[in-house]
Amino acid sequence: MPPANTLPAWAELQTHRENVGKNFVLKEAFASDKDRFEKFSRTFSSAGVSADIIFDFSKNFLTGETLDLLLKLAQQAGVERKRDAMFAGEKINFTEKRAVLHTALRNVGGWEMKVDGKDVMNCSRGVNDVLKHMKEFSDQVRSGEWKGFSGKKLNTIVNIGIGGSDLGPVMVTEALRYYGANDMTLHFVSNIDGTHMAEALKHSNPDTTLFLVASKTFTTAETCTNANTAKHWFLEKTGGKGDIAKHFVALSTNEAEVTKFGIDSRNMFGFESWVGGRYSVWSAIGLSVVIYIGFDNFHKFLSGAHAMDKHFREAPLKHNIPIIGGLLSVWYSDFFQAQTHLVAPFDQYLHRFPAYLQQLSMESNGKSISSDGSSVKYTTGPILFGEPCTNAQHSFFQLVHQGTKLIPTDFILSAKSHNPISGNQHQKMLASNYFAQAEALMVGKTDDQVKAEGTPDDLTPHKRFLGNRPTTSILVGGTIGPAELGALIVYYEHLTFVEGAVWDVNSFDQWGVELGKVLAKKILKELDEPGDGEGHDNSTVGLIGVFKKYANS
């Protein structure tokens, strides 16, 4: 693949940015085109979801010509070819020589999906077998048929995992809390900080606690240490009478390590190496979700996800919602030097959604080496951040409105609340803020408007809003149920795919997390040895020395 910035459409976009993009004024674009909303919004409708989802791209620096040029860039960068290669099970994760087929995990539509000629859906221990196992097990736990060693129903789930083996289950169980079993307590222990495990175990009863050890590799230091701590706690609390087989299950690809840990392979829920950690909530890693919301709801979650896969795979580029979302991100990153992407859900249930998207986006596209091994000469993955609104409005939105940075922002709202309390007053106030923020960011407030309010001259510039800040508004035409959540997640998955395809980076590896892990292992040993460590810089040696002095005093 030639570098993205050498593609003809890249140069055309640069010229277009000089001629049009640089001077683009959103409010003028609306004033001169009464159909702008219709032109640049897209509706996602499918039998796989119970509500339409509207993606309003019209408050972006976008003209018909911009969209055409961005689509041209996508074609020249081979986005469709790469997408089709992903669905075909080709080894597009070229540094790890792996297929990327998390879409098979939610393939409720019966597509043929193969890796190395093998039908991954219907082979032994394939996707459908594992789903069946997850259904059986979760039904048993929910009904109380699966009992702990002392014959009691299990009512506490402790998921031990980190990264994709944690963030997906946490985010989804929070987002779908409305559907969750009220008699169940969930803990997600990820951090190696002992506080995380200690707090989870503090009020847990070993008779009624189920541990899910979630790790694709089953070698991750934090997860293995936390799992061993949990095992010791369980055996100690039960005076050695506790039956591991009834209280510990593994969600992993690594049967050998699972067995070594002491978990019976019959209590292992497997998946394959072609599922990346950050794409694994659809796999066995989602077992906590299934136990919490029930298999039927989990199936709806998969159906909504599959519906968005189908849209991404089949919709023409101009109507293809993740394609447009991904290209807009490239447009802002590379032609406006935007460094960030803000996602602010107007939905308390989605409070962990931005954290989840951070791993998805930044672990996927936080790369600077392209497919031929050379350094890219353009900006890649944006810094994704976010918090639920309206909270965020009272914290960092000052910077979004009046700071010096261009921050392309996504807002998410559902038309209906699961909790329409106080005569739906809360939801209406929430919605009014959702509309107001996008409008305010766009229209701003001129000096004349500020002055007309009687503001003294010296205060006027401080109260001025330049406006012209782009937003994408996502509106779910009902409540956000399992299917709608599935579709929203997959929108961002494929948006990330499109970015990476244009930037020609491998969105599916994560070598950047390795160096810190290796150094931590070396330093861990040194903390127990005399001296202040070997071969470190002066600052690190100094800090290790100070730590040892205080920690051991």
Ligand X SMILES: O=P(O)(O)OC[C@H]1O[C@](O)(CO)[C@@H](O)[C@@H]1O
Binding residues vs ligand X (CB under 6 A): 162-165, 215-217, 220, 223, 277-278, 363, 510, 513
- How far apart (Å, rounded) are the C-alpha atoms in residues 165 and 190? 9
Min separation Cβ 333 and ligand X, Å: 22
Residue 254 or 303: the one with the smaller Cβ distance to ligand X is 254
Q: Number of helices (H) and strands (E), helices first, in the chain?
A: 23, 13
In Å, how far are 96, 416, 439, 470 from 24, measured between CA atoms?
A: 42, 34, 16, 11
Min separation Cβ 339 and ligand X, Å: 23
Min separation Cβ 13 and ligand X, Å: 32
Min separation Cβ 169 and ligand X, Å: 11
Residue 107 or 220: the one with the smaller Cβ distance to ligand X is 220
- How far apart (Å, rounded) are the C-alpha atoms in residues 58 and 56? 6
Residue 134 or 327: the one with the smaller Cβ distance to ligand X is 134
The first and second tokens of residue 233, run together, are 């706690």
Amino acid at 31: A
Min separation Cβ 270 and ligand X, Å: 13
Q: Where on the phi/psi map is residue 110: left (φ > 0), alpha (ψ -120 to 50), or beta? A: left
Backbone angles phi, psi at 269, to 5 degrees: -110, 115
Residue 175 or 285: the one with the smaller Cβ distance to ligand X is 285
Give catalytic status of residue 394 as yes or no. Answer: yes
Coil, strand or helix: which one is 77?
A: coil
Q: Which of 394, 453, 462, 514 is catalytic?
A: 394
Residues in Cβ contact with 256 at an 8 Å cutoff, skipping those fewer than 6 apart: none
- How far apart (Å, rounded) are the C-alpha atoms in residues 117 and 105? 17
Q: Which of 174, 363, 493, 499 is catalytic?
A: 363
The first and second tokens of residue 407, run together, are 């921050």
In Å, how far are 342, 362, 489 from 315, measured between CA atoms?
A: 26, 26, 18
Give catalytic status of residue 363 as yes or no. Answer: yes
- Indicate the residue whose CB is closest to ligand X: 277
Backbone angles phi, psi at 385, to 5 degrees: -150, 170
Min separation Cβ 277 and ligand X, Å: 2
- How far apart (Å, rounded) are the C-alpha atoms in residues 438 and 55? 13
Residue 390 or 510: the one with the smaller Cβ distance to ligand X is 510
- How far apart (Å, rounded) are the C-alpha atoms in residues 86 and 82? 6
- How far apart (Å, rounded) are the C-alpha atoms in residues 118 and 273? 14
Fill in the DSSP letter of residue 153: B
Residue 277 or 382: the one with the smaller Cβ distance to ligand X is 277
Min separation Cβ 189 and ligand X, Å: 13
Residues in Cβ contact with 134 at an 8 Å cutoff, skipping those fewer than 6 apart: 269, 284, 286, 287, 290, 295, 298
Residue 141 or 167: the one with the smaller Cβ distance to ligand X is 167
Q: Which of 232, 377, 517, 522 is catalytic?
A: 517
- Catalytic residue set: 363, 394, 517
